[in-house]
Structure 1
């Protein structure tokens, strides 16, 4: 006989399926892997440098913010 916890999990999963959802499995980066944070910093620095160099992007963002302020 399943435990109370197993029954709760089963009930929860059935409710999700009844709501039109389905379970999926995805692979995500291992945040504990050696070098993970260094790689995050490296990629973040590249993105930040590209953003700073893109004057059109900054203009677009400023215009978008102004549009939000007017709304």
Structure 2
């Protein structure tokens, strides 16, 4: 009587991740780590607000806004 093939033992999470990474690398991809501001940190939020206030006071804001309006492709958002 023929026997059914046994399933291979289950992979650990580490083995599954390694397999996935090998597959992605074979597709020409590579892992990249991104660091972003921690918006939960009050110090970070305070600094972002400070920077935004400085940017809002830039003397060329109106000229920059006018230029953006002229060159922006508004039809691309329809």
TM-score tier, shorter chain, comes to: 0.5 to 0.7
Gaps of 5+ in 1: none
What is the aligned length? 65
Task: Tell me which residue corresponds to 1:59.
Answer: 66
Task: Tell me which residue corresponds to 2:45.
Answer: 37
- Look at both structures and tell me which one has the larger radius of gyration over its CA atoms: 2
Q: Larger helix proportion, structure 1 or 2?
A: 1
1:22 corresponds to which of 16, 30, 37? 30
Give the Å deviation of 1:49: 2.4
Give the Å deviation of 1:62: 1.3
